[in-house]
Amino acid sequence: MTGAGVLTTGPAVELLGIWKRFPGVVANAGAHLRVERGSIHAVLGENGAGKSTLMNVLAGVYRPDEGEVWVEGAAHRFRTPADALAAGIGMVHQEFRLVPSFTVAENVVLGAAGRLLRRQAIEDEVAALADRFGLATQPDRPVWQLSMGERQRVEILKALWRDARILILDEPTAVLTPAEADELGAVLRRMADAGRSVIFISHKLHEVTGFCDEATVLRRGETVAASLPVAETGAAELASLMVGASPVTTGRPPPHPPGEPLLEVTGLSAVGDRGLTAVDAVDLTVRAGEIVGIAGVAGNGQRELCQVITGLRPSTGGRVSLAGVDLTRASPRTRFRAGLGYIPEDRLGVGLAPRLSVVDNAMLRTYAEHRRGPLLVADRAAAHCAELVERFSVRTGSLDDPIAGLSGGNLQRLLVGRELSEHPRVVVAAQPTRGLDVQGVKFIQDLLIAERGAGVAVLLISEDLDELLTLADRLLVMHDGRIVGEFDPNTAARREIGEAMVGHVRASGDGPSRPDPAGEGP
C-alpha cells in the first residue's frame, strides 16, 4: 500500500458547477459538492439523478464539459482514472471492474507499478488486509468463481490496498448483510478519524444516518441540498429531498393463509465451481400466495441454490418439483414452460444481453411466439416490447438501441416485467432490488407483493435483511450451503438472525433443529 500522507486543513474535495452531457441526456447540470477532510459524506438521489456521473468526473472516468474539480486545495483536470488515483482518489464502482480469470489477489494489485510482486507475498498481504477490515475472502480463488457479494469485497479491497486518501464508494453495501454493513461503517469511521475522506453513495437511508457526517442531495443532475448535517436531518427529510415529494414506503403485506405447495425442494445438493459442496441437503417448500425469504452472507450457497432450482446448474442429489411435477432433470426451458419465473442477481451477466436491443431482450423468453417459421415478426416483437415498457414504467429511448444504455433501475424493471408478464406460478427472485433508488425498490417490492396476492409462490433471496423482514412470510437462513434456521419475520430478533447468518446459531425460531457439527450450538 502507498501509505501516502494525509493533509489536515481545508476541504478534501470541491466540485464547482459541474456539467456533463451525453447524447440526449444531461447527467449533471451545474452540480456542486464540498467534502471536508476527515468526514464521511453521503451523496444521495434517485437512479438517474447524476450521482455516479458526478463521482466518475471526480474519479477521472469522465471529463466535465464545464466546471472545476479541486482536490486538497489544488485544481485538477483529470484525463484518466490513473491521474485521479495519483491525486489520492480511489473509487469502488457499483458495476464490478474485475478480470474474471484472475485471482482475488491478482485483481487487488492489478495495475500496481514500481513494485516487484511475488505471488505468495501478495496473497499473504491481501489476506492480512482482508482480515484487518473484516472482508473475508480467499486470495488464491479466481474471481469467476465468486458470488456477487464476494466480488464486491474484492472491489473494496482494491481501493483499500492503495490506501486512497479520498475513497468513493458507489453503493458499497448493496451486497452486504446488515452485520457486514455495520462493520464497513466502523472501517470507514476509523478512516475518517485518521484524516481520510469518504464519499458514500447509498439508497439505504438508515446507513446514511448511521455512518455519515454530511449529505448532499442531487435531483435531475442538480444539487438540491448541499452538505446537510446528517445528525440534524432525519431520514424522512432526506428521502423527501431525493424524490421531490413525500417518501414512499412498502409496508408488510397483510397476512393470509397460504395455499398448496408449489415449489418443493427435498434433500437438494450441488457442487460449486471449485468442485466443493455448495448446496448441502436443502429442504424447503414455498406455497401458493407465500413469500419465503432466504437470508445469508454472500457465498454461502444462495447463488448455487438458485441455479439448481432453475436448471442452470446440475444437482448431485435431491429433488425439485413444481406443483407436484418432478423437474429435477428438466432443462431450464422446460422449467420456465412449467411456470417458473427467474429474476437473477446478475441482471446484465445472466438476465439480459447487453449488446442486444431493448426489443430483443424483452422477448427472449417468448421468442417462439413472435416468429413466423425461422424469421422474427418485427412488428409483433416491437408491440410486445412497447407493452412491457409502458406497463412496467421503463424509461428508454429507441427500442432498437442496445439495452446496455439503460440505467440500472430501468434494466431491472424490464427484466422483472419480462418474467412476471408470463404469469409464472413460482418466482425465484435473487437480489431483485439491489442498487435501486427509493421508488425503484418500492416498485419492485410492490410487484412481488402483488404476485403473492395472486397466488404465486415467491422465493426471495436477498442480502438486505430489512427487505426480507418486510416482505417475507417465513424467513430461512442459509449458511455453508445448508438451511440452518427458520424465523417468523414478525417476531424474530435481528440479533438471532444475524448470528445464524454467520454460523453461530444452527437453528432458531420455529424451524427444524439441526445439530451443530462443530459442537458449537447455541
- Single out the residue of 232, 44, 45, 74 nearest to residue 166, CA to CA: 74
* Residues in CB range of 265: below 8 A, 6 or more apart: 282, 283, 284, 285, 309, 318, 319, 320
Q: What is the pLDDT of residues 319-374, one digit of tens each?
A: 999 999 999 999 999 999 999 999 998 888 888 888 889 998 888 877 767 677 77
Q: What is the pLDDT of residues 378-399, one digit of tens each?
A: 888 888 899 999 999 888 888 8
**What is the C-alpha to C-alpha distance for residues 336 and 425, in angstroms, rounded to an integer?**
10
Determine the average pLDDT of the residues in 499-503: 77
Q: What is the pLDDT of residues 263-292, one digit of tens each?
A: 999 999 999 887 888 999 999 999 999 999
Q: For the chain, give me the number of helices (H) and strands (E)?
A: 16, 22
- Single out the residue of 332, 337, 312, 305 nearest to residue 430, CA to CA: 305
Which grid cell sits at 109?
494489485
Percent of the chain with pLDDT over 70: 88
Instruction: Quote the longest CA-to-CA distance of the chain.
Output: 71
Report the pLDDT value the prediction gives residue 249, as an integer from 0 to 100.
61
At 243, is the pLDDT very low, low, confident or very high (cuts 50, 70, 90)?
low
Q: What is the pLDDT of residues 117-158, one digit of tens each?
A: 788 999 999 999 888 776 778 999 999 888 766 887 888 888
Reply yes or no on whether the pLDDT at 86 is more than 70. yes
At 4, is the pLDDT very low, low, confident or very high (cuts 50, 70, 90)?
very low
Handedness of CA 393, 396, 397, 398 (dihedral sign): negative
Long-range contacts of 333-339 (CB under 8 A, 24+ apart): 335/310, 335/311, 336/365, 336/422, 338/425, 339/423, 339/424, 339/425, 339/426
**Three-state helix/strand/coil letters over 15-70:** EEEEEEEECCEEEEEEEEEEEECCCEEEEECCCCCCHHHHHHHHCCCCCCCEEEEE
DSSP secondary-structure letter at 14? Answer: E
DSSP secondary-structure letter at 367? Answer: G
E strand spans, 336-421? 340-343, 371-372, 375-376
**Three-state helix/strand/coil letters over 91-155:** EECCCCCCCCCCEHHHHHHCCCCCCCCCHHHHHHHHHHHHHHHCCCCCCCCEHHHCCHHHHHHHH
Which of these ranges, 103-117, 223-237, 334-348, has the smallest mean pLDDT?
Answer: 103-117
Q: What are the boundaries of each domain within the chain?
A: 11-243, 261-349+423-501
Half-sphere exposure of 29 (CA within 13 A, CB side): 10
Report the pLDDT value the prediction gives residue 516, as an integer from 0 to 100.
39
Across-strand partners of 223? 218
Domain 261-349+423-501 maps to which CATH number in 3.40.50.300, 3.40.50.150, 3.40.50.2020, 3.40.50.720?
Answer: 3.40.50.300
Domains 11-243 and 261-349+423-501 are alike in CATH topology: yes
| CATH number for the domain formed by residue range(s) 11-243 | 3.40.50.300
Which grid cell sits at 221?
443532475
Radius of gyration in angstroms for the set of CA atoms belonging to the chain, rounded to a whole number: 23
